Amino acid sequence: MIAATPSPLDAITTGIAHAARTAGRKPDDITLIAVSKTHPVEAIRPLLNAGHRAFGENRVQEAAAKWPVLRSEHPDVALHLIGQLQSNKAEEAVALFDAIHAVDRPSLVDALGKAMAKTGRRPDCFVQVNIGAEEQKGGCPIADLPALLQQARDAGLPVAGLMCIPPAEIEPAPYFALLAKLARDMDLTGLSMGMSSDYETAVTLGATHVRVGSALFGARGSATA
């Protein structure tokens, strides 16, 4: 009898669990964020029906168009904003998302602090670090990280940890290890790192949140997580 092929969700969950145990960690300590950006409601529902509840979107406007109806059906969903956030969208993001993964500059910290004070909502915040010092990428320079973290805490942001996207086409492990060290130095426990091609490596190096898109949904549009 031929064994059934596991679903992408089951395969990734198994990979996370194996990597966690290899590192002496508990699989339940890692959150798999299913990156549903650019994917329609019809593609998301099967994961919801399978019991998955953590999803990631890149854009406030796209999330606002898709998720109200889905959340009315599944109110226990946790929605993560994983893309760059414009300061003028801070209030909308605070109202919609449960976690914001790309806090990367003083102006955004100010805008988020004001939005949280106004709305009373306090989504978890991850400070994005430009871990590879790449000019084309968002993220706080490593040298500026202590000051930005202090500003975020002073503004009342619930800082959950750090986030990074390593340089493409390069072994990611040293960058993940560096982010983990920075987090330890800053007394932070959350590490948002690892995508479809490297989430297992990220888990072995301490990731608490992995952002997986194409391995779950397949390629569509600009989905590359």
pLDDT for 169-181, tens place per residue? 999 999 999 999 9
Place of tokens 């190096």: 205
pLDDT tens string 34-54? 999 999 999 999 999 999 999
- Cα atoms in the 13 Å half-sphere on the side-chain side of 86: 6
For residue 162, the cross-strand partners are: 127, 191
Q: Which pLDDT tens digit goes with each residue over 58-77?
A: 999 999 999 999 999 999 99
Nearest to 218 by CA among 6, 22, 16, 39: 39
Q: Where are the alpha helices (DSSP H) in 50-144?
A: 60-73, 90-96, 106-119
Task: Give the model's confidence band at 219: pLDDT under 50 very low, under 70 low, under 90 confident, else very high.
Answer: confident
Residue 6's pLDDT is what?
83
Q: pLDDT value at position 223?
A: 37
Q: How far apart are CA 200 and CA 16, in angstroms?
A: 6
pLDDT tens, position by position, 72-119:
999 999 999 999 999 999 999 999 999 999 999 999 999 999 999 999
Inform me whether the pLDDT recorded for 221 exceeds 50.
Answer: no
d(CA 72, CA 146): 39
Q: Which two tokens stand for residue 189?
A: 């426990």
Sign of torsion over alpha carbons 216, 92, 98, 161:
positive
113-157 pLDDT, tens per residue?
999 999 999 999 999 999 999 988 889 999 999 999 999 999 999
Instruction: Return the pLDDT at 224.
Output: 39
Backbone angles phi, psi at 104, to 5 degrees: -140, 5
Q: Give pLDDT, residue 5.
A: 80
Two tokens, residue 150:
């202090």
pLDDT of residue 43: 94
| pLDDT for 1 beyond 80 | no
pLDDT (0 to 100) of residue 137: 87
- Which DSSP helix (H) or strand (E) runs through 79? strand 78-81
User: DSSP secondary-structure letter at 167?
Assistant: P
Is the pLDDT confidence value at 3 over 90?
no
Residues in the chain: 225
Q: Are 207 and 30 in contact (CB under 8 A)?
A: yes
Task: Spell out the domain ranges in the chain.
Answer: 8-214
DSSP 219: -
Mean pLDDT of the chain: 94
Taking residues 184-199, report their average pLDDT: 97
Residue 190 CA, distance from chain mean position: 10
Residue 189 has pLDDT above 50, yes or no: yes
For residue 135, the model assigns a pLDDT of: 87
Distances (CA, A) of 76 to 175, 202, 221: 33, 26, 28
Q: Which two tokens stand for residue 216?
A: 């779950």
**What pLDDT shows up at residue 17?**
98
The C-alpha atoms of residue 108 and residue 128 are separated, in whole angstroms, by 12
Superfamily of domain 8-214: Alanine racemase (3.20.20.10)
